Structures are given as structure tokens and as C-alpha cells.
A and B are shown apart, each in its own frame.
Chain A
Amino acid sequence: MHRLPPRAFMVVALVLLVLAVLLGLLVGPVQIAPVKLLTLWSADQDMDGRVLELIRLPRVLLAALVGACLASCGAVMQGLFRNPLADPSLIGVSSGASVGASCVIFFGGFGFLGSGLGLPAIAIGAFLGGMAATAVVYRLATSVTGTSVSTMLLAGIAITALAGAVTSLFSFFADNEMLRRISLWQMGNLDSANWHRVMVIAAVVIPLVLVLPREGRALNAMLLGESEARHLGIGVEQLKRRLIVLTALGVGVAVAVSGVVAFVGLIVPHLVRLLIGPDHRYLIPGSALLGAVLLLLADTGARTLMSPAELPTGVITALLGAPFFVALLLRQRRDLVS
């Protein structure tokens, strides 16, 4: 194992991010000439300029923000659970969000929430569902002696199973149209990007990505063990509560706007750790950058591979992510043996 200097990695990742943004803007069902970028926000736009401004740019930004959010939250979760295979969905956010979203899709069809709310209602339902599931998991794992991370893991699995059952129940009683919407939502998709959504997620993700690396040293100490961290002067209980609230919020918002995008939160921190080492002060921002790049590329792929039809982004990340993850595991095993 040979590590890259963190700063060099950040520079490379930033360059990649810029390239991925440009690619995402220019490539799609309609190829757009780079020169049209100059007409962004100007009065004399042609059709291509309007596509760029109203469709491509929000979508590209949304992909980058969701990717950054999921990956940095994944890095935090892996540190908090002291397990390099942890995933942000472990605390029940994603499955809770599925229940919330399918509930809205199901009852929304019955007119409970009014058809005028439409998509935003799904996002709100998903967010509330995710928060509720995390709150339950957190309560189950917290006693007077503090929060037990291992109980949280088990409670997360239980709540995920329960939420899966509830979602299945909604799917079972849903009609064909609802069923299609529920399953599309669960695949994770960025196709409903607009400036409004970009603003909402940016308001959460940008502060989050800036705040999380400040907990880097404390998270490093947590990897030694909770009592070791306590002996190093870390307020362990407060740290856990803060990080769980922040990641639940981040993942909750990401899932609300994009559905369940698989594997980004698991793979990106893992990959960054292989490249620059496990120090969270660099791992968290590095994961944010690489997460943005990877989700952007995956989303560009989703838009263009079967053009003019569009694949769900979450399907692409899972299709590429799973084999990639297996390759990482095999590589690690080989390193251990040799």
C-alpha cells in the first residue's frame, strides 16, 4: 500500500470535479457546444443555452451535491461505527425515507395530501420518514450510560427490515402507476433536478461538508475505541450525538431529493482511504470531492447510455459499484496474504 499526499489528492480530485462538471453539462441526449457555456445567465440564449441553464446545470449541481453529501456522511459513519464497511443507510435513514416516500405516493394518490403537492410532497415524506427511522434507532441504542454504537447497528438492521416490510406492504396494495413510482423512487434518480431543489440541498450539504472535517481528529481518536477517545479528552457522547444528527440530516436531504442512490456512501470513503489513508481530517473532504465526481459521472452515464431514454442513476451506481467493491475487497485480501 502506497499513499498519496492528501493535498496532491485534493488537487487531482478538484480537477476531476471540474472536468466531470463540464462533461455533465455538455454531454447528453443533445450535445452542446462548449461555447454555449458563455451564454449562461445571459439574455440572448438559444435553445441550447436554455437547456444548459434550466436542465443541465441544476442536474449537474444536484448530482455533485448529493454525491459529496453521501460520501462524506459515509466516511463519518464508517468512523463512528469503527467499521470500514459501514454505510450511511445503517442508521435507518434510507429505509425510513422509502417508507415516507411510498406512503406519500400511496396516500397521495388517494388525495390525502392533495395532488397539487406532487413531487415535493414525496421529498418531504422521504425526509420525515428518514428522520423518524433514525430517531427510533437512536432512542433504542441510547440509555443512561450513553449511546451504544453496536446496539445502534443492530437496531438499524431491525428498523431497516421493518421499514422494508412496510414499504412492501404499500407496494402490495398500490396500483400499477403507484408501484412504478415507488420502485423508480427506490432506484434513486436525479431526473427531477431543478434550481429549487439545488438550493435546498446546497443549503444543507455545503455547511455540512465544511463542518464535518472539523470533527476529523476526534473521529480519528474514536477509531482507537470509545474509552481511549474519552481518555484523550474527547466528549464521546456529545460527539456521537452531533455526528448522528448531522449525517441523518445530510443523508435524509440527499435521499429526499434523489431517492436511494446506492453504494456511493460505502465505496467512495473506502477508495479514498486506500488512496490517502484513514485520517478523517483529509478523508472527509476527500470523500466529498470524489463522491461528487463519481455521482456526476454515473449520472452522466445514466442520461446518455440509453439515450434518449434515461436509466435511474442509482442503478448505474449499483451496477458499477458492486463489482468495484468486490474488486477492492479481493485486493485487500491479497495484500493481507502476501
Chain B
Amino acid sequence: MKEHTLTRRTFVKAAAAVGAAIAASGTSETLVKADKAFAEGDSGQEEIVSTVCRACIAQCSVLAHVRDGRVVKLEGDPRGPMSKGSMCAKGLAGIQALYNPMRNKYPMIRTGKRGTCEFRRASWDEATDYVADQLLDHINKYGPESIFASTGGGGNPHISGPIRFINTIGSPNNFEPGCAQCYLPRQTQARLVYGGGPDDNLSIADSNVLDFYDRESEVEAAVLWGAGPSWSAPSMTGRTVADLRNRKTNLQGLKTVVVDPRLTADASKADVWLPVRPGTDVALMMCWIKYIIDNNLYDEDFCKKWTNFPFLVDPDTKIDLDAGVIGGPANNFEYVVYDNNQKKAVVMPYPYPDDYDVALFGEYEVTFSDGTKKTCKTGFQVLKEACDEFSLEKAAEICWLDADKIEEAIKIYVNNVSTLIHGLATDQFPNSAQAALAALELECMMGHVEKPGAALQRFGVLSHSPGIIENDTFGMGCYQNLITRDMLNKRLVGGHNGFYNWQMAHIPTVQQAIRTGKPYKPRVWMERSGNKFAVIGNARSWYETLPELDLIVHAYMYPTSFTIEAADVVFPLREWLECPKPVKLMNWIFPRREVTHLFETADETLYWSRLIEKLAEKGYQRAIDSFKDEVANPGKSHTINGGNMQDGIAKGWRWAYDEDDLANLFCNDLVDPDTEQPMSWQQLLDKGPFEYAPYDEWHQYYVYLHDDGTGKPMGFGTPSKRVEPYSDITVKLGRTGYPFALCNEGLIELDPSLSVEYEPVPFYMEPHESPLYDTEYPLSLTSGRVPIYHHGTLRNSPWLREIMPTAEIWVNEQDADKYSIVNEGWVKVESRRGETYARAVVTENVSPGVVFLERFWNPELLDTDPYGSWNAENVNVLTKNDAPFNDVYGTYTLRGFQVKISPVDKCPYDVYVEPKQFSVWLPQYSDKTTEPTGEATWENWQEFPDDDLVCQIKAE
């Protein structure tokens, strides 16, 4: 091994001190051994290690049994406040994922054309050096915008990593196939309407709705709207909903309404199941709003005092009238309302004065300070009129439902201590923002905000709540100090400004830029996730785009279709059992530990860090700066009204030097409650899982009523301190980027040429491809989770493939008869984008005219038929990624589009269907195998290296 005179840590410190002078210093590596990939000896001694699962986004607490260096058993940790000792199939498959024979074991560089398995093995130093040279070459030639990154939610992701990487490069473009199609609309709209933190929203699938984890919760009923917790996160959200439903205490067992085209496990237990036609949910939500208004079922007191519904709206600007427009002081949380007592439009002080009786509905004349008069409606009036056409009968007709059943469902919602849990489904068609807004409007109308049983809560705000990187900065605070105004304006969002919340780009707009070169051409793709072709909408359109790209770099735990079809350079990443990270679960901190570590794999964040470090070595100033604390982390956040929307630069963090440094950075502002001193990673490991705040202190309702220190209530973290279900802030988001256009200057207004118009209240969009007029493709397709796979992961897990060996399409019995489909027979499924195959489940669990198909791909075909590996059984060769998009979030169509089906004798691709076939992926930890050769052929991809191989770079 070479002698090195400069360690990695001292190198970076030197970088901070002398800047570009270090460019010539060269690299330094200190190599440490990987753990052995097999057990040596049989001591019989077993260590039990507390860690946290990352097989999906739920993050259940886990106990890993380690014998002679090998993980031999996983079980749920009963201390886990959310999973309470349960684990699901995805988590239990962690051992198979860890020891899968097809792990990517070392970096590789392509030697044959894309679409072949021709790679050669490379060292980390060579591979990062090569990629860094390519990046610098492209930056010099075309500018940093020629580089873009992407990630995905499946397979141990650090979502913020690629955002920070790309921001460091100087490019504004990173995307994720979830995002606008998963969580961005619901999460962003909740921030805008409610002003809570990133996790304070209606999505139970994203580990929120925390009151449900309290068995003493007063909640009596829940509407699961497009949410199937028993299948999306069985051991966490599914477990807790089942627990509440089963409750045999003095508290009522949970009644449920399930709105879902499928009869899921949760729907089968529902008091009312509404099998809504895919893509029509907003019509149904607007019907609920109308019914509740027409029947005076809303919480009048809450609406008057704590919402912006009574504020009068400027009819020309669609913006709430603040006191300034009629001559009062602006920015004092005072707005213009009509007071029934004074019988005129007046300024309403904050908080609500007892002698006021504001009008919730109607239109009133307002005299502006310049003397002009306008007739202005209240926000609630505007919403009422928007929903006026959606009677029970109309909604039943649009949504293919029974009007009486709709009414029965609404009554469960309004006559109990209830809440609405809003799932992923509505994020997957172009009406996404409107669905997110309508769901929040329902909760605000009903006063389901921070009261017992409500989904919207700000637990932890009144107690010390440590900031955990990734948890607390999801999509925010990621190197805003390295984002310039120019970068912000250049981000490829296509007029869908909701992306600014997560600092991401709009996928079809990026694709269009690649194809047309306008406004500039992204040419280098830095991809970190599993199989992009399995999870991205209209995957074939991306396959056809690949030739336009100069370089594609793929980092993941094992090869996927994307690796073979697209990647020029491959980096091996770690599985969740190999990664250190603190995880916040309610009022607890659990350490996810590096239980073991195999091959030359790297933690994802360290992978990005090492690429940046290479750029720093080569003198790229932005990379050098990004290791400086004072640049990367300029200090504390600035927020709007003490809430979670920022008006200034958020905290950031520098890149890590090595694993230990990274783990310590992840600890961020962890404080040991016993000593009240900051905690290092090692101290956290020594301490183990702990409560950072007592439960009762953490679990507090009605946060908005607490004194803000001036004698007034805290209110909500919105500009008005009230919840804002009349969403004029959404209008502002379109016009200026407010409140998410954040860069190194703080909160700015986007370039005026980028201004677009959004609506402050919901509207219904009939699906673009609709069964109402499509005769060629007669069936409406929906999708959704199955309990054993998460996104595109784990199709190479033998146990899980045995349970679900092929993609399944659910077809109603009537349609099966009509199209000659037999149960378990193979079906060809076609849309206007392509065709794929699945085995039929003939069932009454979907309505006539509706089919269900979930994502799938076939790793068994990677070496023999890579094109088939993502075309054989993949719903995403059918999905639609062109306009119409959602106005605010750019959502394209993954559900609610049209297909046709026909029977076939068998799948034309040689996919595995028999259990024994999957045995090729059984864990290979107990056989000492040969050392891989220099050529990364398919055969030795499967070989486990000898334990003498050294791996991970680590500082002294």
C-alpha cells in the first residue's frame, strides 16, 4: 500500500484553510477491513444489537442477533414506540437483502455498450476520480446545470443527500419519482394551510398521525382516504390502526370509512367502503365539503376564531385582505372581516375579540384606503360556491358510488371524534394539489386541529425536540447557503412551484430539457436508487432518452435493470443493516447501527461526500467551500411567525470526512437528557435508545392556545396565525415562489417571467384518459402497495418472491367474463404507452371497469434479457408522464388512466415463477468463495470476495 503523508481529515481541514492550494495535494486513504461475509468458527455466542429497520419508510425498531459476525436473526424491538415489537416481511427480509449474492461489491466502470453486463472492476479512488473528471469537464463545457441527480424512496435512502450533492455542484436539478407523485402535494399543502412542521400532516404512511400510537387516544372514527396502512406499513401504521379498531377498553373501537378502489385489508374491516373510481376523489371530497356546509355540520366556533374562512378576499387578486388595505397597520395578524355586530367590514384583531361575531359566508362591500370600493366574499363563501355542483347524487355519478353510502360515510365522520387520514392515492393523478387542499379543508372545517384524536398535531413543539438531519430537514435546509438566486430561477420545475418546498425538479420538464436542449441540456445523470425503470412513470420514454446522456452513474446495493441498461459507472452502497444513523420515533431516539459491513460498500451520504471531496482535490471551489462549517452551516434558521415556514437561511451541514464523522454529524443537536450535554454518536451507542422528552411533555394537544410569551396565544405557523384553508398562500406560491423560494439571500421572489396562477380553492378535473369516453381502452387502472414489497425493492428476495412471484392484476368477475380472463391465467395489459404482463386475480375486490396492478420487475432477466427485466411485468411501462400535470406540483398520471386486457398462454419473457428458481438468491454467507477477478462479469458479480479484501476508506 502506498505511503500517505496527508490523512483525509487533515486534507479537508487544510482545504478550509488554504483553499485551492490543496488541489495538488492528491488523495489519501486509510483502509480498514470490512466485516467478513461469512461466519468464522462457531462460538455459539450471540450478540443482540438494537437498530432500526429501513426496508421501507416506516423505520421500525429492531433487535438484530449477531453470531460470529453474522446477522442470523431479526426481531421487533418491544421498546419501539410505534412498532411495539412487530416486524413485517420487508424488514425480516433484511438478512436476505444484506447477504444477497448479487450485491454490488465494488465500484465498476462500463467497458461494453449500455444494455450489456460488460464492466470492469475499479477502485473507489479510480472510479471517483473518473467521475469527478467527467463532472468538471461538463461544468467547464456547459455549466453545472448539465449535471442532474435523482434518488428514490426505496432501499435505505438518505433523501437529502443528492440534493446537497447537486447544490454543491452548482446545479439546481435533482428529482425523485415519488415527490410530486408521492407526498409532496399532501406534505406541502399541509405546511401551507396548517403551518406545522414537515411531518405534521394527514399522511399516516409517512409515519405521522402520531396520536394514533396512543392507546388512550380519544379518536372514535377515522376516514382512511386512499390509505391502506395494513398493507403499506404492516408492523407500524397497520398495526396501530388494527390495534385501535380492536380496542376492548372503555374507549370505543375505531370506526373506519375507507375510500379506495380496492377492497384492501383495511377496507374489508371498514364500516363503510367507498370504492371510488380511480382519479375522481376530488369530486367526492368537494361533495363532502358541500354536504357539511349545507347541513351546518362544521365547527362554527373554530372556523370563526382559528381559520381564515371569515377573511374577506380581494376579488381581483384572490388574496385575503389584511388590515393595511383599509388603512390599518399591516403585518399585525389583522385581517378584514364582516362583523355581524358592527354590521360592516372591519379589521379583526388577533386573537379573536369576544365582542365580534364574524360572518363566515356572504359578500360585503369594502372601502379601500384609496377610496375605491369592492364587493368581497369571505373565503368560506368562495369555497362553498366552488363545491356547489357536487351534490351527493352528482358525486355518486362521477365516482361510481352509491349516494346513500356516501352520506353514511360522511355521518360517521361528522358524528364522532374523528379525523381524516389522507393516503398516497391522490398524489398519483393530476388533481393532487386540489385533493390535498380539500382534505385539509375538511379537517379545518370540522375543527380537527390539535384536538384529541386529530391527525394534525404538533407534538414535541413545547418540549425539547432534537433536530435530526433527514428527519427534520426533509427537503428543506439543504445547503440553501450554496443555492444562488440564479440557480433557483434556473430550476426545471415547469411552472410547478410546489417543487421549491423540496428543492426538487419536475421530471417531465427535465426530460424535455434533455431532449430539446432548452433552456439547457442536462447531460450527466447521477442516480441513487434501485430500478428507475420500475418506478418512474412511462419508463420507456426514459429508456429512449438515455442515448442523449453522456454519462450515467448509478449507486445502489445490487444491480437492477437501470444498472445494466444505463449505468456507465456503478458504486456499491450499504444496506440498512450496515448504516449508522440516529432515528427519531415520537419522543424517542433510536440508533440505527452499523451491525455489520460487507465488501467495499459505502454509506450513501459518504458516497456523495467522497465525490465532492474528489472535486475539492481537483480545486473546484464550491466543493472546497462545502467542507467548511462556516459556509455549510451559517447558523440558526429563521422562520415565519415562529412556525416551520422559513424566511431565512436554514441550518445546513458540511460534508463528512468519514463514517465516524458522518454519524456524529447525523447526531446534530442531540442532547443527553441526563447530562444535558451534546451527544456524540459513540455516546448514543453507549446509551442506546432513550426518551429525549417525557411522553406527557411531548404529547400535548392545543399547542396553538399556549401563551407565546406576550400574553397572546401562539397560534399556527402561518402568515395569519390561523389555519388557512382558503389557500391564498398557494396563489402567492404561484406568483412569487413564496414561502419556498429560499436561497443564499434568504426568501426571494422568483423572476417575474416565472410567475404562474394557481387557485386558492379546489376544483375537479376528470381524468384525461377517462372511461366516460374511451372505447379503445375501456378499463380504468389503479395501483397501490402490496404488503411484501416496498417501491421497487426486494424482488430478488427469495422468500418474498415465493409469496408473490409475479405481478398480479385484479380484474372484476364481470370484466373477466367479458375479456375471457381466467383466475391465475396470464394477461397482456396495454395502454397508450406500452404493454406488459401479469397474472390475473379474478375478484370482486375491484369494481367492474376497474383493474389494479402494482409495480414489479424481474432481476432474474438482468443478464439474459435486460430489456425484459423491466418490461415483462411493470405497470410503469403503461403509466402516463405527459400533460395534463397538476398545476402546483406537476403531478403526472400513475393512477386513473385507461388500459385494455387480453388473455395470453404465458408471459413471453422467461420470468421466474417457481419457488426453487428463487433459491439462486438465497443468502451466501456461510460459504467461503473465490476472490472476484478484475473483470466484473455477471458470473463473478455473484461471487463473494475473500475476507482478506479490504474496503472502506476511513480517517485515522
Query: Do these two chains interact?
Result: no
* Chain A residues within 8 Å of B, Cβ to Cβ: none
